[in-house]
Chain A
């Protein structure tokens, strides 16, 4: 099995590492911050991140340094940084590990990012169910205040920063950056129409950067070891490592940090230990529930932003869900639609109305009451949602449908023709009630 140098998971894999401030400092923690505060201008920090090629690990893969550079330099009022720790994408559990086991890595990243964009206030917006994570981050923040690494005049510089933990209340949509901002403001978590973008009109309508936990956790390492070092890892356009959360009937499900650009085959067969005995791989969700399905034919696609996109899906949140040949693809899609329907915020028409409509059709098909014309209708409805919504949720909810219809159409047809689910033939009655 190929082995790679880990960046983000390195500290926590050392025996006895607790993630405390003293442990983190022993590994060279907060050296990057010191280096920055002692003599790197904010613009230079942004430039360093740009040159590293670091891209957002939350889902969209937007170049981090470029995002930072959008913040107006001469803005008179406050600016904000929000760390997106909402990690709500089904099949994704990497940020949780980073938060619980090495919170200071992320906090150092936040501090450096705030210095770079000129923010004096940062929020960590953490998923409501992450009770432990919230407690750990708050503990780490308290340590920092005590060590005078937060607050006024950090490390004797003129840089001041306060970090607050803000817990979500359980809505998936609050992982969407503008809904996240609304939620911090105390409003209903609903996405905003863009433009204007958060870079100019973000939290409280002030310039704001929203970055993912993993993205920010990379920052201290790039400062310490230089952008060229980071850019050399991975592929030309997808630099650095990524933590993939592998789940499903594999022998070793879990988080794996690897350089961007290895194949799905290597990830599943080597790192995750291959399929469990007797199971055959049927489908892969390559990047969280919002990504289009892959099949066993995609095993040699490389796990970098460009390759996955070229193959018709997205690297997304890094959640790799593996499914075996006993899995009903209609049931899997229905499962996801139950989720998306439950989580649609209801703000804009296509998603609000469309998710319910799609769900009802899928329930019927899975329940053995499908009609032949349903498939064309699923496609038409999906196309009427795709690209028509305020946020990316609309695209996300139709991705499983369109991709399973593309790759596993025969399974849908079998449901309709046989009037029951081929995998769960006794389900029909249970599903009849909407």
Chain B
């Protein structure tokens, strides 16, 4: 305690930190004060008047949620006067409250019920007609039952203070005050469900689980959300083998109890009726359910046959984003040690390896900062304009830094900052927003490096030699060229560089715009140089954070193909570099790889569809382990039903590098099995059992297999070596229009409610965004003479891929001349977008391109 304050609470002497609110101090004295409007996450509003206490020398009763402790204060919450006042407040709150507890979803976890039980007389004195509001809905997922509301405004305040969506407010006044969106407009918000979670009563409840449960019937299991790399702790609430809802606990986990739309409404895929429940053999297009015994035997014998005939390198493996650390580890082990092939890769190849390999190359680690550093920073430099969509909780940390701690946000992205829609969009709260031309982040980074290199002075961290080299390497790049490509002037870059380098603690956040787009690896290396030149890395409170959409994004840093053999078994497996994701597909196409084992990944969707499908036709064996009959599974010979994250144990390592426990909430659906169990069975059938008794055994071995974290000295010498390496900067491909009129820049990415294909099996999320539309700025739509919902034709200037048709949706967030296609409905579009792989990391790039739009002629 830095500044202890002594006071007396209910006769007990206590000592608390200066500035503590009485309601918190009461806990120290062992008293819980009843309350509704108070919430530790929010600024006090003192409107419910329930937490009142008597303070000596103050004539009136005081609300403990708004009163700060003072030295020598004598406080009582147990006097008759306080009790009578509490009874009064309870009588007021209960007077109009409906007696619908039996059908209220909050019943059993309702603060009004709990406090009514303790603070109100058993007989009510309300003899008037009750006030009745009509039930309303905030969209498809939130039910508003104002009769149950206690007007504490926690929902409104959460939406304002934490999310920043400002979607809710109180309407009308006095006894007919109600919560609502402005002027009855539909909610313009993130659908994070925070208002439902923070409501102390049943006024706001989730329609996704309406009437499905009583709170005391659910089994609660704490686990980690699987929708992105933020690493949010969530509670799975289940009855029997059904996930009823998800929730979170105040202040707990890296998310501190906040969830996003995907976390709160996205659990529907787990119990989806289309989940695969039995192994399936597909022959000549016919599907046949088989037993596990049969399927495993077939898989093992087919692998062995191919290994015998073509050698082990004719077998390849790809593991997806939702497998745990243990499973990924075991997969590599199965493929390398038992089957004996080096050609294994993981979903990290879709972009995360760019960040991991670059940061490792520069700093020998990827764990350069934590979320606390975002909150505590005085400047945040963000190359992730879509952070709210891809990594919503990380975005909340940024909002907290900006709103509560007055940090400055510099946002560099291709989005608009028009404020009339989607208020919680991050560029809106930026103190400086650089709206660049789509895909030109790399150019801006070089511009910043050039400025910082010209201004840097040698220091123990930055050698004169390094600075000189950076200067020379950026010499040939002119600011005119930078501006021509990116649209950002030298003066603006200078301002950004000045603020970034001048901040006392600055963090740099990188999103998919860099890691998953062309030149990603080089851009990430340049990010390292940028942070080094600005002195904003390897320093307390500063650092670089690369966002990822993989729940285990931090757990598989180098991807399968570069992974060395496990400790103690160096000689057992293959240590040579294997083929990476796209190389594997290419090798399949060339007939070099004859068998492929794909676990939880869908290359048909993620890579150019036709090319992958054609390659798969050449395979002798394709085994796919999946939750659903995906496009890849449909092309397989053997489909093995996998258990989802809710059905298994293990660890996910978040983008922060935090390894967190995934816990089993329900038994696997049908006969599905966790990936690790399937690998174990196959290994056993191949006469090489792993011998692990539990997931924990795998975890232990995996932890031991990891190289030790670098020491400080090692890091320093690593950075020195990185700085000493030669530099050559080339302006990345100029993404500006190539002269063809009316070309739109198109980016594929994630939306608030959907991440990949899995989310489309969650009914809750489908209700938020029911349509699969291409997003366009309203002005562009008007210019083209098309309206929201209308189908347009998209054609590609290069290549002969034909055209496709899609309905449009309008969004002010998009810059003029740009289009956004949600990833979950991008398969067809991607066929026409240019495709390339990174020269160093082999990361596939196919999410960006230029297209032409035209109105679809309507046949009369």
- A353 engages B175 (CB within 8 Å): yes
Which of B48, B50, B61, B174 has the most chain A CB within a 10 Å cutoff? B174
Indicate whether B129 reaches chain A with its CB closer than 8 angstroms: yes
- B61 engages A387 (CB within 8 Å): yes
- Interface stretch, picked from B83-91, B234-242, B399-407, B541-549, is B83-91
Which residues of chain B are within 8 angstroms of A389 by Cβ–Cβ distance? Answer: 49
- Interface stretch, picked from A135-143, A305-313, A341-349, is A341-349
- Tell me the complex Cα distance, A349–B96, Å: 12
Q: Which residue of B lies closest to A360 (CB)?
A: B128
Closest chain-B Cβ to A105's Cβ sits at a distance in Å of 34
User: Which of these, A343, A355, A361, A388, contacts B52 with CB under 8 Å?
Assistant: A388
Task: Give the residues from 324 to 365 in chain A that come closer than 8 angstroms, CB to CB, to chain B.
Answer: 341-350, 352-357, 360-361, 364
B100-136 contact mask (Cβ, 8 Å, vs A): 1 or 0: 0000000000000000000000000111110100000
User: Which of these, B47, B66, B92, contacts A347 with CB under 8 Å?
Assistant: B47
Task: Give the residues from 34 to 62 in chain B that come closer than 8 angstroms, CB to CB, to chain A.
Answer: 44-50, 52, 60-61
- Tell me the complex Cα distance, A353–B61, Å: 19
Indicate whether A260 reaches chain B with its CB closer than 8 angstroms: no
- B93 engages A349 (CB within 8 Å): yes
Q: Chain B interface secondary structure, helix, strand, loop or mixed? A: loop
Indicate whether B63 reaches chain A with its CB closer than 8 angstroms: yes
For the A-B complex, the count of residue pairs with Cβ-Cβ distances under 8 Å equals 96
- Tell me the complex Cα distance, A171–B93, Å: 24
10 chain-A/chain-B pairs, Cβ below 8 angstroms: A344-B175, A347-B45, A349-B150, A349-B151, A352-B92, A353-B96, A354-B92, A355-B174, A360-B128, A384-B89
Interface size of B as a range: 35 or more
Indicate whether B177 reaches chain A with its CB closer than 8 angstroms: yes
Chain A interface residues toward B at CB < 8 A: 171, 188, 193, 341-350, 352-357, 360-361, 364, 371, 377, 380, 383-385, 387-390, 434
- A341 engages B46 (CB within 8 Å): no
B656-669 contact mask (Cβ, 8 Å, vs A): 1 or 0: 00000000000000
User: Which of these, B45, B52, B93, contacts A353 with CB under 8 Å?
Assistant: B93
- Tell me the complex Cα distance, A229–B246, Å: 73
- B61 engages A341 (CB within 8 Å): no
* Further contacts, 20 of them, CB under 8 A, given A345-B174, A357-B92: A188-B170, A193-B46, A344-B175, A346-B170, A347-B45, A347-B151, A349-B47, A349-B93, A350-B49, A352-B92, A352-B151, A356-B96, A356-B174, A361-B128, A377-B127, A383-B88, A384-B91, A384-B92, A387-B61, A434-B128
- A357 engages B95 (CB within 8 Å): yes
Closest chain-B Cβ to A298's Cβ sits at a distance in Å of 25
B152-181 contact mask (Cβ, 8 Å, vs A): 1 or 0: 000000000000000001101111110000
User: Which of these, A193, A347, A355, A357, contacts B126 with CB under 8 Å?
Assistant: A357
- B48 engages A348 (CB within 8 Å): yes
Which residues of chain B are within 8 angstroms of A353 by Cβ–Cβ distance? Answer: 92-93, 95-96, 175
- Tell me the complex Cα distance, A341–B173, Å: 9
Which residues of chain B are within 8 angstroms of A387 by Cβ–Cβ distance? Answer: 60-61
Which residues of chain B are within 8 angstroms of A345 by Cβ–Cβ distance? Answer: 173-174
Which residues of chain B are within 8 angstroms of A385 by Cβ–Cβ distance? Answer: 88
- A355 engages B175 (CB within 8 Å): yes
Which residues of chain B are within 8 angstroms of A342 by Cβ–Cβ distance? Answer: 174
- B129 engages A434 (CB within 8 Å): yes
- Tell me the complex Cα distance, A360–B93, Å: 16
- B49 engages A356 (CB within 8 Å): no
Task: Give the residues from 230 to 274 in chain B that come closer than 8 angstroms, CB to CB, to chain A.
Answer: none
- Tell me the complex Cα distance, A388–B62, Å: 8
Q: Which 7 A-B pairs have the closest CB atoms?
A: A384-B88, A346-B177, A356-B175, A353-B92, A344-B174, A360-B128, A193-B46
- A388 engages B61 (CB within 8 Å): yes
- Tell me the complex Cα distance, A341–B172, Å: 12
Task: Give the residues from 595 to 634 in chain B that come closer than 8 angstroms, CB to CB, to chain A.
Answer: none
- B177 engages A352 (CB within 8 Å): yes
- Tell me the complex Cα distance, A188–B47, Å: 15
- Tell me the complex Cα distance, A346–B47, Å: 9
Which residues of chain B are within 8 angstroms of A347 by Cβ–Cβ distance? Answer: 45, 47, 151
- Tell me the complex Cα distance, A322–B86, Å: 38
Closest chain-B Cβ to A180's Cβ sits at a distance in Å of 16
User: Which of these, A171, A343, A349, A357, contacts B128 with CB under 8 Å?
Assistant: A357
Which residues of chain A are within 8 angstroms of B95 by Cβ–Cβ distance? Answer: 353, 357
Q: Which residue of A lies closest to B96 (CB)?
A: A353
- B47 engages A390 (CB within 8 Å): yes
Task: Give the residues from 1 to 60 in chain B that come closer than 8 angstroms, CB to CB, to chain A.
Answer: 44-50, 52, 60
Which residues of chain A are within 8 angstroms of B89 by Cβ–Cβ distance? Answer: 349-350, 384, 388
- Tell me the complex Cα distance, A383–B92, Å: 12
Which residues of chain B are within 8 angstroms of A356 by Cβ–Cβ distance? Answer: 96, 131, 174-175
- Tell me the complex Cα distance, A398–B640, Å: 73
Closest chain-A Cβ to B824's Cβ sits at a distance in Å of 39
- A349 engages B175 (CB within 8 Å): no
- Tell me the complex Cα distance, A361–B88, Å: 17
- B63 engages A193 (CB within 8 Å): yes
- A388 engages B174 (CB within 8 Å): no
- Tell me the complex Cα distance, A114–B88, Å: 43
Closest chain-B Cβ to A187's Cβ sits at a distance in Å of 10
Which residues of chain B are within 8 angstroms of A357 by Cβ–Cβ distance? Answer: 92, 95, 126, 128
Closest chain-A Cβ to B547's Cβ sits at a distance in Å of 34
- Tell me the complex Cα distance, A352–B50, Å: 14
- A388 engages B88 (CB within 8 Å): yes
Q: Which residue of B lies closest to A388 (CB)?
A: B49
Which residues of chain A are within 8 angstroms of B128 by Cβ–Cβ distance? Answer: 357, 360-361, 364, 434
- A193 engages B49 (CB within 8 Å): no
- Given the known interface contacts A343-B174, A356-B174, the answer about A193 and B44 at a Cβ–Cβ threshold of 8 Å is yes
Which residues of chain B are within 8 angstroms of A364 by Cβ–Cβ distance? Answer: 128
- Tell me the complex Cα distance, A158–B545, Å: 52
User: Which of these, B66, B91, B129, B150, contacts A360 with CB under 8 Å?
Assistant: B129
- Tell me the complex Cα distance, A259–B641, Å: 92
- A349 engages B125 (CB within 8 Å): no
- Given the known interface contacts A193-B63, A347-B47, the answer about A384 and B85 at a Cβ–Cβ threshold of 8 Å is yes
- Given the known interface contacts A346-B151, A357-B95, A384-B85, the answer about A352 and B174 at a Cβ–Cβ threshold of 8 Å is yes
Which residues of chain B are within 8 angstroms of A188 by Cβ–Cβ distance? Answer: 169-170
User: Which of these, A349, A354, A360, contacts B50 with CB under 8 Å?
Assistant: A349
Which residues of chain A are within 8 angstroms of B52 by Cβ–Cβ distance? Answer: 388
Which residues of chain A are within 8 angstroms of B96 by Cβ–Cβ distance? Answer: 353, 356
Closest chain-A Cβ to B818's Cβ sits at a distance in Å of 33
User: Which of these, A341, A348, A371, A383, contacts B49 with CB under 8 Å?
Assistant: A348
- Tell me the complex Cα distance, A393–B129, Å: 24
Closest chain-B Cβ to A385's Cβ sits at a distance in Å of 8
Which residues of chain A are within 8 angstroms of B45 by Cβ–Cβ distance? Answer: 193, 347
- Tell me the complex Cα distance, A352–B128, Å: 15
Which residues of chain B are within 8 angstroms of A388 by Cβ–Cβ distance? Answer: 49, 52, 61, 85, 88-89
- A349 engages B177 (CB within 8 Å): no
B293-330 contact mask (Cβ, 8 Å, vs A): 1 or 0: 00000000000000000000000000000000000000
Task: Give the residues from 63 to 94 in chain B that come closer than 8 angstroms, CB to CB, to chain A.
Answer: 63, 66, 84-85, 88-89, 91-93
Which residues of chain B are within 8 angstroms of A344 by Cβ–Cβ distance? Answer: 173-175
Q: Which residue of B lies closest to A356 (CB)?
A: B175
Closest chain-B Cβ to A240's Cβ sits at a distance in Å of 28
- B92 engages A346 (CB within 8 Å): no
Q: Which residue of A lies closest to B91 (CB)?
A: A384
Which residues of chain B are within 8 angstroms of A349 by Cβ–Cβ distance? Answer: 47-50, 89, 92-93, 150-151
Closest chain-B Cβ to A331's Cβ sits at a distance in Å of 19
- Tell me the complex Cα distance, A417–B3, Å: 64
Q: Which residue of B lies closest to A171 (CB)?
A: B173
- Tell me the complex Cα distance, A341–B85, Å: 21
- Tell me the complex Cα distance, A389–B44, Å: 15
Which residues of chain B are within 8 angstroms of A390 by Cβ–Cβ distance? Answer: 46-47
- Tell me the complex Cα distance, A153–B799, Å: 71
Which residues of chain A are within 8 angstroms of B173 by Cβ–Cβ distance? Answer: 171, 343-346
- Tell me the complex Cα distance, A171–B177, Å: 14
